[in-house]
Amino acid sequence: MFKNLFGQKKEDLESPNKGFLEKLKAGLDKTRKGITEKVDNILKSYVKIDDELFDDLEEILVTADVGVGTTMDIIDSLRDRIQEEGLREPEGIKDLLEDEIKRAMNQSNSSNRLEIDPSPAVILVVGANGVGKTTTIAKLAYNLKREGRKVILAAGDTFRAGAIEQLNEWSKRVGVDLVAHSEGADPAAVIFDGIQAAKARKCDVLICDTAGRLHNKKNLMNELNKISRVIEREYADAQKETLLVLDATTGQNAIAQAKVFEEACNVSGVVLTKLDGTAKGGVAIALQTELGLPIKFVGVGEKMDDLQQFDVDGFVEAIFSN
């Protein structure tokens, strides 16, 4: 019986992972300054709760890439809460705002946990070029291996120059096997061979890289559909996850990318990378509320163990912490 991803003990499941919180607080410094510090300053400048105050709060959330639709829903709910509770003082709004953001993000019934038990499991990793897909695969493999799982990689991105060599280098550093063909080969054929290798070597998890050619959506969709059919046919008994890797620094552009990949394949969760390098961390709120895509991991640094399992409450608390 494996521990939960990243070694969480059963008793820790109901509360945010401490390591996650510590890393996230440091990684979300720019986002926290973009939201919490501005909220604090605005609340101090008002002596009563009025429409102008709500307008200022809206502007803060939209600027942090929470998204217009999500922001309006949060502010509308905040207005209702304030009225229901008879709140008069502006400083009391901060706690209610934090609660409303948590509520909005927790509305999705989808799990933020990686569903890979019982083994075998196959994880299809998709995303545009440049979002950190290859390093995400390496970090995921590292953490799964650290748990004691047997992992194999399949180099399905056969189009981007150097992609296979890059993944091969990471596989050596992590210490996991790699199945690869030559550059320009059929990605579905690579995944097919990866599945056969995973079966023969009795691997727990097969992680498949894919190309991210957004300039030609039709080719992208055809390619991912073909790969999905191969997985369904050849690995029918495996648990299946399709993780979409998005770069948090791109803000609302990440939302646009998510919509494209949702059309191309059945995305089961998001990996949000480079969260430590942006003030646009509010995009995590928009992804999970507007698109209903559960965030399963966030990247909060360059180290191998800086890919952290996502926790809604911990994420919001890290933003609002002082």
| CATH number of the structural domain spanning residue 191 | 3.40.50.300
Instruction: Determine what percent of the chain is predicted with pLDDT higher than 90.
Output: 59
Whether 199 is covered by a domain: the verdict is: yes
- What span, in angstroms and rounded, lies between the C-alpha atoms of 128 and 214? 6
**Mean per-residue pLDDT, 152-162:** 93
Q: How much is the pLDDT for 301? A: 77
pLDDT above 60 for 11: no
pLDDT tens, residue by residue, 54-96: 999 999 999 888 989 999 999 999 999 999 999 989 989 999 9
Whether 125 is covered by a domain: the verdict is: yes
Where helices occur in 4-127 by DSSP H, the ranges are 18-27, 29-32, 38-45, 51-63, 68-85, 93-105
- What span, in angstroms and rounded, lies between the C-alpha atoms of 109 and 106? 8
Residue 268 to residues 11, 96, 132, 277, 291: CA-CA distances in angstroms?
26, 30, 18, 25, 12
Q: How much is the pLDDT for 19? A: 59
- What span, in angstroms and rounded, lies between the C-alpha atoms of 43 and 29? 20
- What span, in angstroms and rounded, lies between the C-alpha atoms of 128 and 113? 23
For the chain, the domain total comes to: 1
**Mean per-residue pLDDT, 133-152:** 95
Whether 106 is covered by a domain: the verdict is: no
19 versus 176: which is more confidently predicted? 176
- The H-or-E segment that residue 269 falls in is strand 269-273
- What span, in angstroms and rounded, lies between the C-alpha atoms of 141 and 177? 10
pLDDT above 80 for 279: no
Contacts of 88-92 with C-beta under 8 Å, sequence gap 24+, read 88/48, 88/49, 89/49, 90/43, 90/44, 90/46, 90/47, 90/48, 90/49, 90/53, 91/43, 91/44
Res. 14 pLDDT band, cuts 50 70 90 = very low
Whether 241 is covered by a domain: the verdict is: yes
Count of other CB atoms within 10 angstroms of residue 15: 11
The answer to whether the CB of 298 falls within 8 A of the CB of 31 is: no
Whether 210 is covered by a domain: the verdict is: yes
Whether 54 is covered by a domain: the verdict is: no
Please list, in sequence order, all residues whose beta carbon lies within 8 angstroms of the beta carbon of residue 192, skipping any fewer than 6 positions away: 230, 234
Q: How much is the pLDDT for 10? A: 32
- What span, in angstroms and rounded, lies between the C-alpha atoms of 77 and 103? 10
- Assign 209 to helix, strand or coil: strand
Res. 215 pLDDT band, cuts 50 70 90 = low
pLDDT above 50 for 152: yes
Res. 236 pLDDT band, cuts 50 70 90 = very high
Q: How much is the pLDDT for 109? A: 65
Edge-to-edge strands, sheet with 177-179 = 177-179, 151-154, 205-209, 121-126, 239-247, 269-273, 295-299, 307-309
Whether 162 is covered by a domain: the verdict is: yes
Structure token digits, residue 193: 């061979």
Whether 85 is covered by a domain: the verdict is: no
The answer to whether the CB of 300 falls within 8 A of the CB of 26 is: yes
Which among 111, 106, 157 has a CA at the least distance from the CA of 131?
Answer: 157
The answer to whether the CB of 207 falls within 8 A of the CB of 136 is: no
> What domain range is 241 assigned to?
121-267
pLDDT above 80 for 297: yes
Please list, in sequence order, all residues whose beta carbon lies within 8 angstroms of the beta carbon of residue 265, skipping any fewer than 6 positions away: 124, 126, 221, 224, 225, 228, 242
**Which of 108-112, 213-217, 242-246, 302-306 tops mean pLDDT?**
242-246
**Mean per-residue pLDDT, 235-258:** 93
The answer to whether the CB of 190 falls within 8 A of the CB of 154 is: yes
For residue 260, the Cα-to-chain-centroid distance in whole angstroms is: 16
The answer to whether the CB of 223 falls within 8 A of the CB of 210 is: yes
- What span, in angstroms and rounded, lies between the C-alpha atoms of 25 and 318? 5
- What span, in angstroms and rounded, lies between the C-alpha atoms of 318 and 322? 9
**Mean per-residue pLDDT, 35-60:** 93
Q: How much is the pLDDT for 292? A: 87
